[in-house]
Structure 1
Amino acid sequence: MSEDLYLELLDNLFDGVYYVDRNRVITFWNKACERLTGYSKTEVMGKSCSDNILKHIDSHGRELCIKGCPLHATIEDGKMREALLYLHHKDGHRVPVHIRVSPLTDEQGNIIGGIEVFSDGTQSLQTLQELEHLKNEIFIDPLLKIGNRRYAEMIFQTRLYELNAFNVPCGVVFLDVDNFKSINDTYGHLIGDRVLLMVSRSIASALRGTDTLIRWGGYEMLIFLPNVTPAGLKTITERIRMFVESSFLMIENQKVAVTVSIGSTLLNKQDTLESLTQRMDTLLYQSKQGGKNRSTIG
């Protein structure tokens, strides 16, 4: 098989495939990489894979391009690796990907670089599946394509019934974007909308398949986490905060990033939607007063 035909086959694979040399400079970038990351071949070829491109993080929010890069480790020791990580999409949000890393060697067996193959690890949220099944835009936020406040009322009643009838616990997270007005004032509402999309997509990547993400209004979001322990609520809440903190847009070579303040609680059997949101609003206010970009659980 000729080299040109081999490269054409790689270019048309469903999975993303890219090569780097020993300095982690990208020397091949296929069409699936463009589709999954939003970055074109011309934007990345000849650049380091850590130059504001993929910026992989793990589930704890650690930036692996700075420390712990699987591709760098494979180039050093020649061992194959695989992991579930979260890459940075050009639109700013985080995308879960399953990566497989292998060394590239010359005819003498010397390592001359590495190859990473990655596939979309996104699991369709049960919320989106239900929304699609309903085929009813009355429950969908038109910008973010997630549930709206009316959908929240329906999910609340479901989770409250599960708690009272079967003792299935449910954690609830309430958050808003810190200093969002200044984003709109500085960059305009179109960029503000892109920031909200970035935030909602990064949050969705941090959630489980059974969790429900809601746009409560403006730049506030509500999340229902069924069957979660107090420890699990704390873990997921912190993951949400970290995922948003590590997301960013590049606007005319300027990095635009935001943080969120969060209030989290467990649903009580006596709760109404009003009492629940009042309790979470108080917790959110404590996070704001404490310096923002933090969570308060109560």
Structure 2
Amino acid sequence: MMDFKTDCRQVIETFPDIFLEIGRDLKIHFWNETAVEILGYTRTEVEHQHCEEVLCHLDENGEKLCGTSHCPARMTTGEPVTGKYYIRLKSGSLLPFTGKTWSVNGGETVLHFLSDATWRSELESKVQELEKLALMDNLTEIGNRRYGELSLDKNMDRFKRYGDPFGVLFLDIDYFKNFNDTYGHETGDRVLKMVALVLKYSIRPSDTITRWGGEEFLVILSNITPDYIENIARRIKNLIHKAHVNFDGRFLKITASIGYDIIKEGDTVIDLLARADSYLYKSKEMGRNLITGSFGTIK
């Protein structure tokens, strides 16, 4: 006869959400089939491995949670604790999840459920709409330059009519040519896709991301404050730095330089883009992997 724990695990195998059982030693003791399908690791690869080495929990701003008091695997309360996290897949990409965690057996075991962040489905619907309208970049599956131009015009119209402020963020992948020359164009394409994925899951569904050209991306943030655009820039930079591309078993790290600014009275779209582009150039000139805006430059 099967024991209660075995029965429970069989039921959990049917769950549509990711389920992990983590011991006091912070090692993964159980990993359901949904986790295998979504995260890409087999059970053999993860069971009895340290949680930090596999999942790399990050908070909503891309800051590391593992090893801190906020780490879900370190929860000791019997009450459920919910949170939003970015989790690293085997491929190296990061995806957002909503998590629920609680400890059982006197703190000996932590149960951790992860479900898709609800706004991911909204973004996927947006991709389908872009495809229909021929406004999608086929490689990265985000908006193309034409889509960005249309979004800029709409935001400028709202600014003139209602005073709704918006900002733009230019991002350029550091040393991208080296990825192509050293690892081949296929790996370069994977780098572009990874960065696009980070951007896609770093912003609100109402914001716009486009591949502006080559390894340069444009993010358009609607109805914002200076603090918001700075926080988004930090989040994007952190998440790109924490993600990686897997190349023949090696993890290739990527960084990006960012320049941004907010629309001002009397600006044209060209004025705004020119300032953001000049700030991007300054980030690259000062050593790359930096964010520059009207406030100055930050690491």
Same structural fold, with TM-score higher than 0.5 when normalized by the shorter chain: yes
Residues 180-219 of structure 1: CA distance to partner in whole angstroms, max 9, x if unpaired? 1111122111111111111111122221221111000111
Asked if the contact 1:127/1:147 (under 8 Å) is kept, the reply is: no
Partner AA of 2:9 in structure 1? L
d(CA) in 1 for partners of 2:201 and 2:216? 18
Residues 225-275 of structure 1: CA distance to partner in whole angstroms, max 9, x if unpaired? 001011211111111111111111232332211111111011245444433
Specify the alignment match of 1:58 in structure 2: 59
For residues 180 and 225 of structure 1, do their structure 2 counterparts lie closer, same or farther at Cα, with a shift above 3 Å needed? Answer: same
For residues 122 and 38 of structure 1, do their structure 2 counterparts lie closer, same or farther at Cα, with a shift above 3 Å needed? Answer: farther
Specify the alignment match of 1:21 in structure 2: 23
Partner AA of 2:50 in structure 1? S
Asked if the contact 1:74/1:80 (under 8 Å) is kept, the reply is: no
Return 5+ residue gaps in structure 1 as ranges: none
Asked if the contact 1:95/1:122 (under 8 Å) is kept, the reply is: no
Residue 167 of structure 1: which of 163, 167, 182 is its match? 163
For residues 140 and 291 of structure 1, do their structure 2 counterparts lie closer, same or farther at Cα, with a shift above 3 Å needed? Answer: same
Residue 142 of structure 1: which of 138, 143, 146 is its match? 138
SS at 1:90 equivalent: coil
For residues 180 and 122 of structure 1, do their structure 2 counterparts lie closer, same or farther at Cα, with a shift above 3 Å needed? Answer: farther
For residues 190 and 171 of structure 1, do their structure 2 counterparts lie closer, same or farther at Cα, with a shift above 3 Å needed? Answer: same
Specify the alignment match of 1:266 in structure 2: 262
d(CA) in 2 for partners of 1:146 and 1:268? 27
Q: CA deviation at 1:128?
A: 5.3
d(CA) in 2 for partners of 1:125 and 1:225? 20
Partner AA of 2:58 in structure 1? I
Residue 208 of structure 1: which of 200, 204, 208 is its match? 204
Partner AA of 1:44 in structure 2? V
Query: How do 1:1-298 residues align onto structure 2 when only pairs under 5 Å count?
Result: 2-3=2-3, 4-51=6-53, 53-75=54-76, 78-105=78-105, 110-124=106-120, 129-133=125-129, 135-136=131-132, 138-268=134-264, 270-298=266-294
d(CA) in 2 for partners of 1:126 and 1:41? 31
For residues 80 and 116 of structure 1, do their structure 2 counterparts lie closer, same or farther at Cα, with a shift above 3 Å needed? Answer: same
Segment drifting more, 237-246 vs 126-135: 126-135
For residues 134 and 78 of structure 1, do their structure 2 counterparts lie closer, same or farther at Cα, with a shift above 3 Å needed? Answer: closer
Residues 103-134 of structure 1: CA distance to partner in whole angstroms, max 9, x if unpaired? 131xxxx4322111111115148665445235
Partner AA of 2:15 in structure 1? L
For residues 126 and 101 of structure 1, do their structure 2 counterparts lie closer, same or farther at Cα, with a shift above 3 Å needed? Answer: closer
Return 5+ residue gaps in structure 2 as ranges: 295-299
SS at 1:206 equivalent: coil
Partner AA of 1:59 in structure 2? E
d(CA) in 2 for partners of 1:256 and 1:193? 13
Asked if the contact 1:17/1:116 (under 8 Å) is kept, the reply is: yes
For residues 92 and 169 of structure 1, do their structure 2 counterparts lie closer, same or farther at Cα, with a shift above 3 Å needed? Answer: same
d(CA) in 2 for partners of 1:138 and 1:40? 38
d(CA) in 2 for partners of 1:40 and 1:218? 35
Partner AA of 2:43 in structure 1? K
For residues 261 and 135 of structure 1, do their structure 2 counterparts lie closer, same or farther at Cα, with a shift above 3 Å needed? Answer: closer
Segment drifting more, 205-214 vs 245-254: 245-254
SS at 1:144 equivalent: coil
Partner AA of 2:253 in structure 1? A
Asked if the contact 1:160/1:269 (under 8 Å) is kept, the reply is: no
Q: CA deviation at 1:293?
A: 0.8
Q: CA deviation at 1:277?
A: 2.6
For normalisation by structure 2, the TM-score amounts to: 0.90
Root mean square deviation of aligned Cα = 2.1
